[in-house]
Amino acid sequence: MSTIDAYPLRWPVGWTRTHRDDRRASIYQVSFARARDELLRSVRLIGGVDVVISSDIALRRDGLPYANQGEPRDPGIAVYWSQDNQPRVMACDCWRTVRDNLRAVGLTIDALRAIDRSGATQLLERAFTGFAALPANAGVNDNGAPDWREVFCLSRDTVVNRAQLEMLYRAMVRDAHPDLAGDNERMVRLNRARDAALREVGP
């Protein structure tokens, strides 16, 4: 990963960008430093090495983005690493801040770790090619509510099963539940998204 630039942002080739007007407001109640550090920990726990967090945030001497910096015009982040001698990348720009995009990627990797621990290695391999940044045309469902893929920050072509959805849900509950770091509105939104997703995915 030594050829990947941590600054400025190096967006993965072929990944769709989210239009600025379609980016969503903050929901994650964690600091930038915690989002960054927990993301790094999650990548390393899944077996990742040579981790590069690429963004438009200036870098510390160790190559990681500084906390407490002004928000750049482009809030996207791309996380590159090597795993089992294979290059990996996960990127997100569906939130309005670098912090929230860091958090979204970290929670997604936590969900992938849960898949890995379940022994479903083939599902994990497929997931790495399926998770992507939210495309610009993501919108709302017929009832005017956010599409469940938008809530879970998944691309429209991502294929997931019930077990994967539940893992993503449990990972996001930590930031949405009012007894933890979230509030009732966020928890209701997450619950509705899970219910809609499970109806669509089926048994």
DSSP string of 169-197, one letter each residue: HHHHHHHH-TTTTS-HHHHHHHHHHHHHH
Rounded CA separation 162/115 (Å):
12
| pLDDT tens digits, one per residue of 102-152 | 999 999 888 878 776 776 555 556 555 443 333 333 344 445 456 788 787
Identify whether the C-beta of residue 46 lies closer than 8 Å to the C-beta of residue 121: no
Let me know if 81 is exposed, middle or buried by CB neighbors in 10 A (0-12, 13-18, 19+).
buried
Is 109 buried (19+), middle (13-18) or exposed (0-12) by CB count in 10 A?
A: buried
Mean pLDDT of 19-39: 91
Least confident of 69-73, 139-143, 184-188: 139-143
Euclidean distance between CA atoms 72 and 189, whole angstroms = 28
% of the chain with per-residue pLDDT over 90: 33
Mean pLDDT of 153-161: 73
The more confidently predicted of residues 173 and 99 is 99
Tell me the mean pLDDT in the region 84-93: 86
Provide the pLDDT confidence category of residue 44 given band limits of 50, 70 and 90: very high
Answer with the residue of higher pLDDT: 163 or 101. Answer: 101
How many residues in the chain? 203
Give yes or no for residue 87 having a pLDDT over 90.
Answer: no
- Measured distance CA(91)–CA(98) in Å, rounded: 11
Q: What is the pLDDT of residue 126?
A: 56
Q: How far apart are CA 194 and CA 131, in angstroms?
A: 17
Closest CA to 16 of 160, 184, 146, 157: 157
pTM (two decimals): 0.63
Q: Which two tokens stand for residue 117?
A: 């621990």
User: Which uninterrupted H or E stretch holds 87?
Assistant: strand 86-92
In this structure, the strands spanning 86-92 and 77-83 are antiparallel
- Minimal CA–CA distance to 156: which of 75, 104, 94? 94
What mean pLDDT is predicted for residues 26-48? 92
Average pLDDT, integer, range 82-107 = 90
For the purposes of burial, counting CB atoms within 10 Å of the CB of 153, is it exposed (0-12), middle (13-18) or buried (19 or more)?
Answer: buried
> Residues near 87 by Cβ (< 8 Å), separated by ≥ 6?
1, 80, 81
